[in-house]
Amino acid sequence: MKVAIVGAGTMGSGIAQIAASAGHGVVVYDKSPAALDRSRRQLEKRMGNFQKKGKLTNTEAQIIQTKISYTSQLAELSEAELLIESIIEELGAKQLLFRELEDIVTQQCILGTNTSSLSVTAIAAACRQNPERVVGIHFFVPADQVKLVEIIPALQTRTPITQQAQQIIRQWGKTTVLVKDRPGFLVNRIARPYYLEALRILEEGIANVATIDWAMTHLGGFKMGPFALMDYIGNDVNYIFTKRLFKSTFYDNRYQPSVVQKRLVEAGYLGRKTGRGFYNYFDHSTNPAPYSDETLGKQILIRILVLLINEAADALFHKFASREDIDLAMSTGIDFPYGLLSWADDLGIGFVVRQLDELYELYHEDRYRCSPLLRQMQKKAERFYT
């Protein structure tokens, strides 16, 4: 199968590598020759690293590289059977691109968008001839390492297109989850309390950055604490996504951005990529130590965890995805230690509801409102899994 990737940035280059590793001929398009050259050099570097680590032989690395060609001419994508767009996260730019692509690729070509937050339905609507072949195919960074891919059919997408996209991505060695076209999709939306409630706890002066991260990693088993993770993602990227989600959910209080993070972005303290964020990453720099009090740590852990569970339950209540896909997505896409719905069973649904109600009683904010699904399950003494 011939695969086209539009956008030679980090994500587009990673997807091209995955497709080539699966044996496909791949053409990478970008209007910038410099971006194409950078993508080619990054691929060579990754292949060299894989050889050093014994993950690939010299022959295998060369085969992958020869399967990828680079172009600044859209017309050279005409023979693609699957095209995945990975350009700037702006709706107008994506719509314009898909309008152009319709006249270049064949009618049989599947048009995929790697958008992480924009409406797939709105992107598909730009196609006047055949919007039914547009589907969301959302990879996570780094694309070649994270196993999860969200498959998001637009309102217009034909079921066979969705199924075909899932099948192809699975053949590439990825785990797929099927998600409704809703703001934030699944992983990034459910994960919002991991960042936003940690920021709220910091704002209230309950604990410092290091203590909150310690509570989530040492007591909760999370791979990275919320502040270390925001620094890793980039505070600008994390903040912009939260802002977009807040707006696209008609300003739902649960997704209100944090002024603390906004100030960091304004100062240029974006995290690891700038050497400073919530932590300082310059050589010989010191960071505050956590206050390792288990009573305080457990309070922090439970407060953030019940809000994560509430988001997962709400996603199931509104049928964004299946129970299994929700748990699979959070444990695979963002490396949470357990599926959140399974974790709710372990804690007890009644316990989760009581914790949420206590928070709502204290703050009277909608961010702490309990999902109707959890309240129904509490009354019936039900569990997510038998």
| pLDDT tens profile 124-150 | 999 999 999 999 999 999 999 999 999
Our answer to whether residue 188 is catalytic in this structure is yes
Check whether 8 has a pLDDT greater than 90: yes
Q: Could you tell me the sign of the dihedral formed by the alpha carbons of 70, 74, 79, 84, in that order?
A: positive
Q: Average per-residue pLDDT in the chain? A: 97
Our answer to whether residue 342 is catalytic in this structure is no
Our answer to whether residue 150 is catalytic in this structure is yes
- What pLDDT is recorded for position 10? 93
- What pLDDT is recorded for position 284? 87
Contact yes or no for 110/132 (Cβ under 8 A): no
pLDDT over 70 percentage in the chain: 100
Give kind and range of the element (H or E) at residue 225.
none
Our answer to whether residue 44 is catalytic in this structure is no
How long a stretch of residues is the chain?
A: 386
Question: What φ, ψ does residue 110 adopt, rounded to 5°?
Answer: -80, 130
Banded model confidence at residue 157, pLDDT cuts 50, 70, 90? very high
Contact yes or no for 72/36 (Cβ under 8 A): yes
Give me the catalytic one of 119, 188, 238, 371. 188
- What pLDDT is recorded for position 379? 98
Task: Quote the tokens at residue 314.
Answer: 């709400």
Does domain 186-386 bear CATH number 3.30.530.80? no
Give me the catalytic one of 13, 39, 86, 116. 116
Give kind and range of the element (H or E) at residue 276.
none
Q: Which of 349, 366, 338, 364 is nearest to 313 (CA)?
A: 349
Give me the catalytic one of 85, 138, 311, 342. 138
Query: What is the value of pTM for the model shown?
Result: 0.95
- What pLDDT is recorded for position 274? 97
Residue 148 carries which side chain, given as an amino acid letter? L
- pLDDT tens digits, residue range 50-92? 999 999 999 999 999 999 999 999 999 999 999 999 999 999 9
Q: Where in the chain is the domain with CATH 3.40.50.720?
A: 2-178
Check whether 105 has a pLDDT greater than 90: yes
Does domain 2-178 bear CATH number 3.40.50.720? yes
DSSP letters spanning 134-186: EEEEEE-SSTTT--EEEEEE-TT--HHHHHHHHHHHHHTT-EEEE--S-TTTT
Give the number of other Cβ atoms within 10 Å of residue 355's Cβ.
20
Angstrom distance (rounded) from CA 120 to CA 113: 7
- pLDDT tens digits, residue range 316-360? 999 999 999 999 999 999 999 999 999 999 999 999 999 999 999
Angstrom distance (rounded) from CA 334 to CA 345: 20
- pLDDT tens digits, residue range 18-47? 999 999 999 999 999 999 999 999 999 999
- What pLDDT is recorded for position 356? 98
Give me the catalytic one of 85, 102, 150, 311. 150
* Average pLDDT estimate for 276-296: 94
Q: Where in the chain is the domain with CATH 1.10.1040.50?
A: 186-386
Residues with Cβ within 8 Å of 94's Cβ and at least 6 positions away in sequence, in order, are 85, 87, 113, 115, 118, 123, 126
Torsion of CA 264, 185, 116, 158, to 10 degrees: -170
- pLDDT tens digits, residue range 87-102? 999 999 999 999 999 9
Contact yes or no for 121/156 (Cβ under 8 A): yes
DSSP letters spanning 27-86: EEE-S-HHHHHHHHHHHHHHHHHHHHTTSS-HHHHHHHHHTEEEES-GGGGTT-SEEEE-
* Average pLDDT estimate for 294-319: 98
